Structure 1
Amino acid sequence: MRLLREATFRRYWSAQTVSLFGDQVTLIAVPLAAVLIVGAGPAEMGYLTAAALLPNLFLSLPAGAWVDRRPGKRRVMIVADLSRAVLLLAVPALWWAGALTLPALVVVAFAVGTFSLLFEVAHASLFASLVRREDYVDANGLLNGSRAASFVAGPSVAGGLVQWLTAPVALLADVLTYLASAAFLRRAEVTEMPVAAEDEPRGMTAGVRFVARSAVLRAVLLGATTLNLFNYIFSALFVLYVTTELHVSPGTLGLVIGIGSIGGLVGAAVAGPLSRRIGIGPAVIAGMLIFPAPLILVPWAGDPVTLAALITAEFLSAAGVMILDIAVGSVQTAATPPAMLAVVSGFKRTVNYGIRPIGALLGGALGTLLGVRPALWIGAVGALLGVLWIVFSPLRTMRELPEAAELTPA
């Protein structure tokens, strides 16, 4: 692949890859530190989880607007990497000092989430400066391929590190990955696109208004939001249903999810060729269907095909989400003016992360009122409605990446 022959892109991709694998350690080590070291209960674990997610909900839009006004997006990403390394280093330091507490873990989780958010919205702008337009899909395929690989291998490596080193010490592995990411980014010198001129629209309001006026971006956001709402209805009840109704053991469930995650690697590999063959718009539609449709197999499953149905559902759904993310990410980058990439990314994160807890709460309510299995049917089938926003938009017949609309002062 041409991109991998370019040293600057290789360093950028390496930074993303090593960081993604390190994140898997944190996802396991921080909750285990809370349970095993601090003695956290269900309510405390809820606080810890919420602390990590709140920055995405409340800070994505202002962070995106702030990053768009900064001339050095790569520098923002490096600072975010180094800041996360220092914050995570505090956990084993406090543990060694006998001073590790739940409030300390909550503060670390919130702060790491905030710098992760800054990293991601700055990444949206740097990506467009680094990658040629015709390579958007292939570049997104490589980045999402790394993400899929981290889902497959990361949890087992993270679990082994936690068991071998204890949860706080295992976080040192993620500290090293953030330092490595910063080092790769420091060497990935790129000429960044200029920030918005003084007379061009910018800021939070301008970003929201631009998405609302763009038929392509509006359709993508509404489609993804609809899909996420119903998917989180499904996700909130999946483990409960599989373990209590289908009587699948936790170990077997972990194996099912692990095998299913391989589908993400397949999806990342086929997204580029699929987009070139059928067009970028139809590829978005394909992802919007292949992601949720296989999940119908879960409430349908029963003996003697329970495990086969679950593995098939997880595998195909993982492939679908990668096709969707790669196609949608490429469309969003192409359809957005460079000066607004960060704020548009921040607005998308605000809406998508905001709808997830609503979906989870709705799933719990539906499961209580109607039963878990009917609620799963609603979640799986309802998620397919997201594709309607795409079908009735210009994306339906779009073969090439869209052009970004011109910015006009309000």
Structure 2
Amino acid sequence: MQTDTRSDSPWRVRDFRTLFTATALSQLGTNVGYVAVPLVAVAALDASPGQVGALAALSTLAFLLIGLPAGAWVDRMRHRRVLIAADLVRAALNVSIPLAWWLDALTLGHLYAVVLLTGCATVFFDVGSQSTLPQLVGSQALVSANAAVVSLQAVSNIAGRGAGGGLVQLLTAPVAVLFTALAHLASALRLTAVGGRQAPPPAPRRTRLRAQIAEGLRHVLGNAELRALALTATLTNLGVQIVNTVLPILFVRELGLSAGALGLFWAAGGLGLLLGARCARPLAARLGHGRTHALTGVLLAPAALLVPLIGPGPWLWAAGLGWVLSMAKIGTANVLGVSLRQRMTPDVLLGRMNATFRFMLTGALAVGAALAGLLGELMGVGVTLWAGSVVLAASFLPVLLSPVRTRRDLPARQPDSAVAGEAARTGEEAPA
């Protein structure tokens, strides 16, 4: 892979530009599907709140099932091949939804299977992408590269979810899912241009898979800063997922609003994510990385308590403002938190570190979706919305109470030799 440690601009690295455009296509398709798939269940299959919650839970359950071993597997494989294969699988799975609908054979069971298997492919794509990035751009450009990627995710939220709502309204939800499939296919084709000078796969490892997984868990949970980052991000995802799971039901059934209005509400959150990501680097340069992370949590996270006030007229705007501010906090935290954890991790552990984070973060999405469905069935949509918003509002506390809040600069990158030293102290074989 290309690596440029002398420049602080990732845009000078051709492979980064290629990865960025491929990710843009993939993110656009994912966000259209984010709106379209639950609306297929609600509008085409008359799904209940519990069934919508189960659908959302299955979309992230894969991270609980294979998230940790996926990190060890990704550390053994060429990352480009992992990304391409994941996109092709997601394209094939998503195209089956409109095909089944056209044949009048679409069922909730089909949707459940598609979102579960798509989630498995996403496990490998996410872990592989975050593990590839530091190797492509080098340490000097890492924060800029992460800011660009988080900004891309935000723009994709705006464009993809806004377009998703419009496509559902104009063409029906199943047809909108076809766009998701085509976007993943285009991403896979673009990724074929990455890694012309990619390093060969590492030599076979003598360490057992279980020991490698444990090594990644120790690296994250045994470090006070990494542990705090993981806990804050986990609480954030839990709260966000509870809220997002019930929003389609709230908008379409209880408030009588259109799918386009739901897409615009989610797109507004994407705008907040973009603003937070773009502000992260200049704020960190002025205030320090850790202090910026902590202060944005204190100042912005409580705005989530405005979201349950959603209703007709001005209350919809108030809830939208709360959502935008909450997402701005997440955008800043994503840039700073991801950069910090990448710099604190040797290359040989990147896959397992990212998999451990994704296991916790996306596991929280699965738990949040299931919890939202259960609370929605037992206590109603309003109570569920309050529960998710309270969790989101308090999500900054682990970072605030940890050493992260005092960190001024990013640490020096850890060498791979640190892993060998740790393995020696614990009596395990180091990765080959």
TM bucket, shorter chain? 0.7 to 0.9
Q: Does 1:104 align with 2:114?
A: no
Residue in structure 2 matched with residue 348 of structure 1 by the alignment: 357
Letter in 1 for 2:87: D
Tell me how far apart the structure 2 counterparts of residues 257 and 28 of structure 1 sit (CA, whole Å): 9
Question: Which of 214, 217, 225 matches 2:234?
Answer: 225
Question: Which of 398, 406, 414 matches 1:404?
Answer: 414
Gaps of 5+ in 1: none
Q: Does 1:183 align with 2:189?
A: yes
Question: Which of 278, 290, 301 matches 1:281?
Answer: 290
- Measured after TM superposition, the shift of residue 208 of structure 1 is 0.9
Letter in 1 for 2:414: A
2:213–2:352: 8 Å Cα contact kept in structure 1? yes
Residue in structure 2 matched with residue 168 of structure 1 by the alignment: 174
Tell me how far apart the structure 1 counterparts of residues 267 and 153 of structure 2 sit (CA, whole Å): 14
Residue in structure 1 matched with residue 218 of structure 2 by the alignment: 209
Tell me how far apart the structure 2 counterparts of residues 36 and 301 of structure 1 sit (CA, whole Å): 22
Tell me how far apart the structure 2 counterparts of residues 321 and 174 of structure 1 sit (CA, whole Å): 25
- Measured after TM superposition, the shift of residue 171 of structure 1 is 2.7
1:289–1:320: 8 Å Cα contact kept in structure 2? no
- Measured after TM superposition, the shift of residue 401 of structure 1 is 1.5
Q: State the Cα RMSD in Å.
A: 3.7
Residue in structure 2 matched with residue 25 of structure 1 by the alignment: 32
Tell me how far apart the structure 2 counterparts of residues 101 and 384 of structure 1 sit (CA, whole Å): 37
- Measured after TM superposition, the shift of residue 309 of structure 1 is 3.2
Tell me how far apart the structure 2 counterparts of residues 364 and 102 of structure 1 sit (CA, whole Å): 18
Post-superposition Cα deviations, 1:298-326, rounded to whole Å, max 9, x if no partner, equal: 56899996455333312221211100111
Greater shift in the superposed pair: 193-202 or 81-90: 193-202
How many residues are paired up?
A: 406
- Measured after TM superposition, the shift of residue 330 of structure 1 is 0.7
Question: Which of 80, 83, 88 matches 1:77?
Answer: 83
Q: Does 1:147 align with 2:153?
A: yes
**Measured at CA, do residues 140 and 82 of structure 1 come closer, stay the same or move farther in structure 2, by a change above 3 Å?**
same
Post-superposition Cα deviations, 1:197-232, rounded to whole Å, max 9, x if no partner, equal: 847796211111121222221121123334445566
- Measured after TM superposition, the shift of residue 177 of structure 1 is 1.3
Q: Does 1:66 align with 2:76?
A: no
Letter in 2 for 1:316: L
Post-superposition Cα deviations, 1:310-347, rounded to whole Å, max 9, x if no partner, equal: 33312221211100111111111111121121222222
1:261–1:314: 8 Å Cα contact kept in structure 2? no
Post-superposition Cα deviations, 1:35-94, rounded to whole Å, max 9, x if no partner, equal: 455554545434433321211222211211221222x01111111111111222223333
- Measured after TM superposition, the shift of residue 126 of structure 1 is 0.7
Residue in structure 2 matched with residue 124 of structure 1 by the alignment: 130
1:63–1:346: 8 Å Cα contact kept in structure 2? yes
1:367–1:374: 8 Å Cα contact kept in structure 2? no
Post-superposition Cα deviations, 1:108-134, rounded to whole Å, max 9, x if no partner, equal: 221111101111111121112112212
Tell me how far apart the structure 2 counterparts of residues 208 and 355 of structure 1 sit (CA, whole Å): 17
Letter in 2 for 1:83: V
Letter in 2 for 1:89: V
2:18–2:194: 8 Å Cα contact kept in structure 1? yes
Residue in structure 2 matched with residue 10 of structure 1 by the alignment: 17
1:290–1:317: 8 Å Cα contact kept in structure 2? no
1:290–1:321: 8 Å Cα contact kept in structure 2? no
Residue in structure 2 matched with residue 89 of structure 1 by the alignment: 95
Post-superposition Cα deviations, 1:276-296, rounded to whole Å, max 9, x if no partner, equal: 222221222134334412223
Question: Which of 115, 125, 134 matches 2:121?
Answer: 115
Tell me how far apart the structure 2 counterparts of residues 45 and 234 of structure 1 sit (CA, whole Å): 13
Tell me how far apart the structure 2 counterparts of residues 111 and 375 of structure 1 sit (CA, whole Å): 28
- Measured after TM superposition, the shift of residue 274 of structure 1 is 1.5
1:236–1:364: 8 Å Cα contact kept in structure 2? no
1:77–1:122: 8 Å Cα contact kept in structure 2? yes
1:295–1:317: 8 Å Cα contact kept in structure 2? yes
Tell me how far apart the structure 2 counterparts of residues 47 and 367 of structure 1 sit (CA, whole Å): 12
**Measured at CA, do residues 86 and 217 of structure 1 come closer, stay the same or move farther in structure 2, by a change above 3 Å?**
same
Tell me how far apart the structure 1 counterparts of residues 214 and 64 of structure 2 sit (CA, whole Å): 16
Letter in 1 for 2:335: I
**Measured at CA, do residues 170 and 388 of structure 1 come closer, stay the same or move farther in structure 2, by a change above 3 Å?**
closer
Gaps of 5+ in 2: 1-7, 427-432
- Measured after TM superposition, the shift of residue 365 of structure 1 is 6.2
Tell me how far apart the structure 1 counterparts of residues 96 and 49 of structure 2 sit (CA, whole Å): 24
Letter in 2 for 1:225: T
Residue in structure 2 matched with residue 133 of structure 1 by the alignment: 139
**Measured at CA, do residues 236 and 25 of structure 1 come closer, stay the same or move farther in structure 2, by a change above 3 Å?**
closer
Residue in structure 2 matched with residue 265 of structure 1 by the alignment: 274
Question: Which of 315, 326, 344 matches 1:317?
Answer: 326
Residue in structure 1 matched with residue 429 of structure 2 by the alignment: none
